[in-house]
Amino acid sequence: MARSELDLKAALWHLPAARNKGKRDHDVPLAPAMLDLLGKLPRRGDAVFSVDGEAPYSAYKRFKAALDRESGVTGWRLHDIRRTVSTGMAALHIPQDTIDRVLNHAKPVLAGTYNRHQYLDEKRRALEAWAEHVAFVVGDARDDAKVVSIAAAR
């Protein structure tokens, strides 16, 4: 995520086609929890998530190893988070079409040709509902029984 891609007043992340698998521009509404997080991060360069303030964070293998170690949960991939979000949104009764648009899934040719609606309001409601659900599941961050602190990867 680059700061130059964010419109915090509109609560929107514009992910350009060149930086996503779908090769199409993708606007992602930012839930209040994400806006709060973004407001707390240091501003050292264009990369929002960075170790040195310049280059985007890229040590996903070490990050995943730390998550596995600290949580005791293994046998999963980072891409499984997309499945969890999709399944969780479906359980929250969010329409599949909206879920697909949140995940930037391609639409059949005719649907993509005739339906030009951007679904920003629908995606925003879906992502806000998901953020509220995650906050409920995690509960109070001070509740050590529900939250595991992750030490920096070694």
Answer whether residue 152 shows pLDDT above 70. Answer: no
Task: State how far the Cα of 27 lies from the Cα of 30, in Å rounded to an integer.
Answer: 9
Asked whether the predicted pLDDT for residue 34 surpasses 60, the reply is: yes
What's the average model confidence in pLDDT over 74-87? 94
Which domain covers residue 26, as residue numbers? 1-58
* 77 and 27 share one domain: no
Q: 107 and 35: one domain?
A: no
pTM: 0.82
Mean pLDDT value of segment 9-13: 97
Task: Looking at the structure, tell me whether residues 124 and 139 fall in a common domain.
Answer: yes
pLDDT at res. 86:
97
d(CA 98, CA 45): 33
55 vs 89 pLDDT, higher one: 89
- Same-domain pairing of 113 and 54: no
Question: Are 126 and 76 in a shared domain?
Answer: yes
